[in-house]
């Protein structure tokens, strides 16, 4: 089998992977990026509203306020050392992007444009802050292209359209690279590396209604589970309040930041009832729940369904005027006209909550090192293995992510991981030998898809998405979650008997979809088991049978491991690096 | 609905053929990508690229009834049947609707698509006025889908020598950026009978761009900068 060797290997060509790759490409070490799509097709490209950092370009601001909002937004489940690190490093990381050429929108004084976003406050819970830097409503596109351009400049080695299969590890647990497959030729290869970073993004495609790109299938999470490592806080999935109804495509929170607001069937601005102070700019979990309640109570807009009302609410922004919309929200207008058939300059956009972001993921420390329970404690680094971005759980987002914090997460921790990988490479100058048969299990898993089978992959994928949508949505109960888990068992049995019609080599996307489904199955199982386990409501995890937050029993992270669906706990770090701890209190907006 | 799909599998087919497909689908509110995925659910041997399914990633550019478009934002209801779907023209076909994009990306890389500014970096952002920033509008939004470049006859003839509309639009994006200091070098890099001047103003690119961008206008601006610096 073909073997390639690099100092550093990055799996995933989105914002996190490319930011880390850039750090390495600027050094003397060589770095390769493996991506199943051409890098600018990665889901970072879809991020709209912006990147949050307390630059204070519009209004007074301090990173400490950003930190407070992030802790509160995450319903105190976030680790405060990591949150301090992110908010403290944010300004330099964003200025760096500007220096690289990111075309931020500008204020009259020439500084980077900032807009208000949900959950932002001044002075630790005071008035609305204006903290999210934007390139119109195409911030993710601008960021991803800028980072890709810098990586071309610094000659990063790209493996475009290669699919990573499994981690390679030795007996002592060192990560030594991955097995991968060229999608174009179907050839498998080993990519050996002294350090490997997973930056494979989210897995929102486990849900039927999702804002996510079709490639968001949790591939890195599947790799980690198969390597016997745990996943953290997988019960926490953010449902974004404003997906285009029936489609799922995202309408940025920036619309509400610019002054848009939500209306129910009666034309009522209902967020005033749920969040009297922050209204439409409360945390995303709060707004999504409010919309779900309005619809369930028969106050949804549109044709009457069985709830007694329609199944969406309206997002009004026509009062902003055509000029402001064209200048600050052009992409939204385009999406709305195309997918909702509505020009927001004239009429409100029909919206409903859509699965958007995975707060949980591969547990890491704030250097991006993957950590797992081992000999000496619950958080021992797995040597040579890193994870960053949505696939990772560092954890800065806790139980609910604030808008604009995800792009920030990518670049702050992408840079931090890149720096730490350089240290690791200097401290470990010689490659460790790859054990014989290290790739056997992985290749057998791939070859299994050459065997014919009765069941079709697409039908099982469809079943998985329906089940997660109906059994693991905004509101959850023990009975419904357990029913979902039983359905998942049945789907897994079917998957074992599934086969492909197409067993050819060249650009066999059916085979890729089968491998993606295997990864999604692992993500769904981790989510359901963790959600059953946590008998409280916190952030985006809402249990109707346990409606209150319970700090006494549940101020802790969930660690899910595949063998026996085991769930362990890990303490939340309430102690920041240098500032005072933000003690848990009631979360109101 | 009736479809005619370009099919080619290099492992089994000596040459490509067109396949007639009937699909039971209500076109209301649906995009061409929805139909192609529904066809793929029945026959998984059909290969195509897709990712964001909302017109921002640039994966699923195909030729539809003779025009280059993104399948994910092309409403089914607008299309005349049988809907003929082919791979983008002018690039080697790998399989079915999938083309080898490398010649396109090679031209993109050739214009040095990154900001060049060797001044010491300030501790904060470089300033840029809203008016200067507005000059990037219509240029930075390119999603590298190749709809424009593969609609351009000049590129069909000289894919190795002519940068093509997408690459030239990106070149202009950096020339127009008040923060970039390499305008002279960038213009030198383009002042060539093929790299820039193969553009004959046919304007297929403008017609093809799914993001409503205007590469021809950007190319015109590059040309006039070249004229200006001569006089």
Complete DSSP assignment for A222-282: HHHHHTT--EE-TT-EEEEEEEETTT--B--THHHHTT-EEE-TTS--THHHH-TTTGGGS
Name the pairing type of β-strands A380-387 and A369-372.
antiparallel
**Residue B182 pLDDT greater than 80, yes or no:** yes
The residue behind tokens 């056997």 is A440
For residue A452, the model assigns a pLDDT of: 83
Contact B56 A138 (CB under 8 A): yes
Q: Kindly tell me the sign of the dihedral angle through the C-alpha atoms of A315, A319, A321, A322.
A: positive
Please provide residue A17's backbone torsions phi and psi, each rounded to the nearest 5 degrees. -65, -40
Residue to mutate among B13, B52, B58, B97, with most A CBs inside 10 A, is: B52
For residue range B49-76, what is the model confidence (pLDDT) as tens digits? 999 999 999 999 999 999 999 999 999 9
Question: Contact A290/A283 with Cβ under 8 angstroms?
Answer: no
**Residue B17 pLDDT greater than 90, yes or no:** yes
Active-site option among A19, A115, A194, A284? A284
Name the pairing type of β-strands A237-244 and A349-358.
antiparallel
Task: Name every residue whose Cβ is closer than 8 Å to that of residue B71 and which is 6 or more positions away in sequence.
Answer: B31, B32, B33, B36, B48, B50, B60, B61, B62, B64, B85
For residue B189, the model assigns a pLDDT of: 97
Instruction: Give the integer Cα–Cα distance in Å for A432 and A550.
Output: 46
Whole-structure pTM value: 0.97
Distance between B3 CA and the closest CA of chain A, angstroms: 21
Q: Which residue spans within A294-409 are E strands per DSSP?
A: 313-316, 349-358, 362-363, 369-372, 380-387, 392-393
Is the ipTM here above 0.90?
yes
Helix, strand, coil share (%) of chain B residues, nearest 5:
35, 15, 50
Instruction: Provide the 10 A C-beta neighbour count for residue A552.
Output: 7
CA–chain centroid gap for A144, Å, is 15
Low-confidence stretches of chain A (pLDDT beneath 50)? none
| Minimum-distance CB partner of A41 among B59, B96, B179 | B59
| Minimum-distance CB partner of A249 among B43, B50, B54 | B54
Q: Which residues of chain B does A45 touch, with a Cβ-Cβ cutoff of 8 Å?
A: 52, 56-57, 143
For residue range B20-34, what is the model confidence (pLDDT) as tens digits? 999 999 998 899 999
Task: Name every residue whose Cβ is closer than 8 Å to that of residue A259 and which is 6 or more positions away in sequence.
Answer: A317, A319, A320
Instruction: Give the integer Cα–Cα distance in Å for A185 and A181.
Output: 8
Q: Which residues of chain B does A331 touch, with a Cβ-Cβ cutoff of 8 Å?
A: 56
Helix axes of B215-230 and B183-190: crossing angle, nearest 10 degrees: 100
Instruction: Give the integer Cα–Cα distance in Å for A242 and A261.
Output: 11
Name the pairing type of β-strands A542-543 and A475-476.
parallel
Mind giving me the DSSP string for A459-476? HHHHHHHHHHHHHSSSEE
Alpha carbon dihedral A339, A344, A345, A348, in 10-degree steps, equals: 140
Question: Contact A430/A166 with Cβ under 8 angstroms?
Answer: no
Residue A211: closest CA among chain B residues belongs to which residue? B52
Question: Contact A243/A352 with Cβ under 8 angstroms?
Answer: yes
A338 labelled catalytic: no
- Residue A505 is classified by DSSP as S
Q: Which residues of chain B does A98 touch, with a Cβ-Cβ cutoff of 8 Å?
A: 125-126
Instruction: Give the integer Cα–Cα distance in Å for A543 and A537.
Output: 5
Structure tokens at A20: 């880390």
Task: Name every residue whose Cβ is closer than 8 Å to that of residue A282 and which is 6 or more positions away in sequence.
Answer: A118, A119, A271, A274, A275, A290, A589
Distance between B191 CA and the closest CA of chain A, angstroms: 22
3-class DSSP string for A29-41: CCEEEEECCCHHH
| Closest of A200, A193, A188 to residue A169, by C-alpha | A193
Question: Contact A224/A198 with Cβ under 8 angstroms?
Answer: yes
Burial (0-12, 13-18, 19+ Cβ within 10 Å), A564: exposed
Task: Name every residue whose Cβ is closer than 8 Å to that of residue B223 and which is 6 or more positions away in sequence.
Answer: B196, B197
Question: What confidence tier does B231 reach under pLDDT thresholds 50, 70, 90?
Answer: confident
Spatial strand order of the sheet with A313-316 comes to: A237-244, A349-358, A313-316, A261-263
Residue A336: closest CA among chain B residues belongs to which residue? B54
For residue B99, the model assigns a pLDDT of: 98
Residue to mutate among A98, A332, A342, with most B CBs inside 10 A, is: A98
For residue range B94-111, what is the model confidence (pLDDT) as tens digits? 999 999 999 999 999 999
Instruction: Give the integer Cα–Cα distance in Å for B180 and B146.
Output: 25
- Residue A430 host element (H or E): none
Instruction: Give the integer Cα–Cα distance in Å for A507 and A522.
Output: 25
Q: Which residues of chain B does A338 touch, with a Cβ-Cβ cutoff of 8 Å?
A: 55, 73, 75
Please provide residue A522's backbone torsions phi and psi, each rounded to the nearest 5 degrees. -65, -40
Contact B59 A38 (CB under 8 A): yes
Distance between B189 CA and the closest CA of chain A, angstroms: 16
Q: Which residues of chain B does A41 touch, with a Cβ-Cβ cutoff of 8 Å?
A: 49, 51-52, 57-59
């Amino acid at each position: 089998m073909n073997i390639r060797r690099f100092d550093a290997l990055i799996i995933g060509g989105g914002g996190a992977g490319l930011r880390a790759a850039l750090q390495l490409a600027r050094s003397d070490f060589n770095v390769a990026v493996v991506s199943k799509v051409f890098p600018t097709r990665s889901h970072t490209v879809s991020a709209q509203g912006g990147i949050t950092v307390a630059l204070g370009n519009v209004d007074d601001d301090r990173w400490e306020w950003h930190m407070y909002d992030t802790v509160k937004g995450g319903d105190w489940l976030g680790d405060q050392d990591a949150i301090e690190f992110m908010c403290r490093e944010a300004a330099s990381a964003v200025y760096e992007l500007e220096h690289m050429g990111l075309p931020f929108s500008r204020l009259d004084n020439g500084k980077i444009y900032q807009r208000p976003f949900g959950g932002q406050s001044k002075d630790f819970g005071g008035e609305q802050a204006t903290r999210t830097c934007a390139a119109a409503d195409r911030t993710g596109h601008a960021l991803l292209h800028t980072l890709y351009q810098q990586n071309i400049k610094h000659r990063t080695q790209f493996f475009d359209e290669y699919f990573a299969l499994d981690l390679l590890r030795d007996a002592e647990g060192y990560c030594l690279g991955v097995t991968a497959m060229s999608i174009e030729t179907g050839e498998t290869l080993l990519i050996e590396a002294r350090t490997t970073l997973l930056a494979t993004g989210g897995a929102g495609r486990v849900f039927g209604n999702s804002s996510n790109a079709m490639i968001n299938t949790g591939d890195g999470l599947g790799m980690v589970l198969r390597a016997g490592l745990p996943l953290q806080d997988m019960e926490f999935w953010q449902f974004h309040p404003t997906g285009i109804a029936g489609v799922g495509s995202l309408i940025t929170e920036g619309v509400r930041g610019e002054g848009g607001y939500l209306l129910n069937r009666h034309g009522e601005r209902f967020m005033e009832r749920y969040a009297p102070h922050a209204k439409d700019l409360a945390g995303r979990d709060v707004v999504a729940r409010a919309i779900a309640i309005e619809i369930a109570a028969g106050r949804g807009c549109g044709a009457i369904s069985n709830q007694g009302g329609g199944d969406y609410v309206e997002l009004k922004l026509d009062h902003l005027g055509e000029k402001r919309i064209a200048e600050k929200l052009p992409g939204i207008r385009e999406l709305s006209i195309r997918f909702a058939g509505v020009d927001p300059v004239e009429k409100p956009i029909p919206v409903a909550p859509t699965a958007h972001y995975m707060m949980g993921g591969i547990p890491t420390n704030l250097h991006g090192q993957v950590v797992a329970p081992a000999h000496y404690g619950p958080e021992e680094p797995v040597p040579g293995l890193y994870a960053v971005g949505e696939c990772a759980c560092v954890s800065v987002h806790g139980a609910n992510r604030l808008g604009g914090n995800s792009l920030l997460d990518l670049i702050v921790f992408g840079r931090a991981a890149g720096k730490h990988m350089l240290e690791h490479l200097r401290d470990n100058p010689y490659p460790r030998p790859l054990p014989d048969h290290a790739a056997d299990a992985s290749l057998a898993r791939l070859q299994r898809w050459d065997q014919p089978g009765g069941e079709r992959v697409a039908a099982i994928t469809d079943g998985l998405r329906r089940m997660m949508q109906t059994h693991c949505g905004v509101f959850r109960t023990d009975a419904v979650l357990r029913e979902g888990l039983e359905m998942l068992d049945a789907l897994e049995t079917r998957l074992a008997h599934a086969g492909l019609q197409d067993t050819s080599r060249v650009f066999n996307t059916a085979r890729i979809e089968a491998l993606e489904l295997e990864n999604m199955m692992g993500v769904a199982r981790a989510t359901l088991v963790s959600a059953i386990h946590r008998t409280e409501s916190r952030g985006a995890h809402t249990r109707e049978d346990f409606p209150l937050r319970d700090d006494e029993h549940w101020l802790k992270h969930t660690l899910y491991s595949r063998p026996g669906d085991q769930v362990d706990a890990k303490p939340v770090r309430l102690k920041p690096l240098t500032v005072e701890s933000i003690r848990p209190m009631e979360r109101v907006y | 609905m009736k479809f005619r799909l370009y099919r080619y599998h290099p492992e089994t087919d000596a040459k490509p053929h067109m396949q007639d497909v009937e699909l039971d689908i209500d076109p209301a509110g649906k995009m061409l990508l929805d139909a192609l995925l529904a066809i793929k659910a029945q026959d998984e041997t059909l290969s195509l690229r897709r990712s964001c399914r909302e017109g921002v990633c640039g994966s699923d550019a195909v030729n539809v009834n003779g025009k280059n478009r993104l399948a994910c934002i092309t409403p089914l209801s607008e299309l005349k049947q049988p809907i003929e779907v082919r791979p983008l023209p002018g690039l080697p076909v790998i399989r079915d609707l999938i083309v080898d994009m490398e010649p396109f990306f090679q031209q993109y890389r050739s214009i040095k698509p990154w900001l060049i500014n060797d001044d010491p970096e300030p501790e904060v952002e470089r300033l840029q006025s809203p008016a200067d920033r507005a000059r990037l509008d219509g240029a930075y939004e390119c999603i590298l889908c190749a709809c424009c470049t593969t609609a351009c006859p000049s590129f069909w003839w000289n894919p190795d020598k002519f940068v093509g509309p997408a690459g030239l639009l990106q070149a202009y994006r950096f020339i127009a950026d008040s923060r970039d200091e390499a305008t002279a070098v960038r213009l030198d890099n383009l002042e060539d009978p093929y790299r820039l001047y193969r553009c004959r103003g046919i304007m297929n690119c403008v017609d093809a761009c799914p993001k409503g961008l205007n590469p021809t206008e950007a190319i015109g601006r590059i040309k006039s900068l070249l004229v200006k610096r001569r006089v």
